[in-house]
Amino acid sequence: MKREPKWLNRKIAEAIHLDQIKQHGGSLGIRDIGLLESALDRPKNQWHYKPESTIFELTASLGIGVAKNHPFMDGNKRTSFLLMYVFLASNGFTIDTSEEDVVNVMLKVADGSFKADELAKWLKHSSKSNQ
């Protein structure tokens, strides 16, 4: 990847989480701010230390970080997916797949049965370029 991606920040993550809790219910709030910041920094660190990473590999790193770190009180899988969606959209791609597919993938991400490379492949297969 040649150009530095547009990164997401804590403010965006908190807004997405708030929106999801308002729409679908659950406990609002951050369980551990350090875990949230760690998850948001994962793709940045990967890009700096492995600059050949694709946008899909960086997105997978972000999604797995949020889903596995569990930084929010509730709604971590929903927030994780939407952060991936927004990150890809900010960088020229749209995820275009069924809600059922998203739910199945995010459950696998959360339970550890879907690894980063598999998630990156799914994201690439399920996305289209906006450019």
Give the separation between CA 54 and CA 101, rounded to whole angstroms: 22
pLDDT-derived band of residue 131, with 50, 70 and 90 as boundaries? confident
Q: What digits encode the pLDDT tens for the residues 43-83?
A: 999 999 999 999 999 999 999 999 999 999 999 999 999 99
pTM given for the model: 0.95
For the segment 89-94, the average pLDDT, to the nearest whole number, is: 98
- In the chain, the domains with their CATH numbers are 10-129 (1.20.120.1870)
pLDDT in tens, 14-29: 999 999 999 999 999 9
Predicted pLDDT of residue 98: 96
Q: Which residues contact 71 (CB under 8 A, 6 or more apart)?
A: 30, 31, 32, 33, 35, 36, 39
Mean pLDDT of the chain: 96
Q: Which two tokens stand for residue 109?
A: 């991400």
Vertex 38, ends 113 and 126: CA angle to 5°? Answer: 45
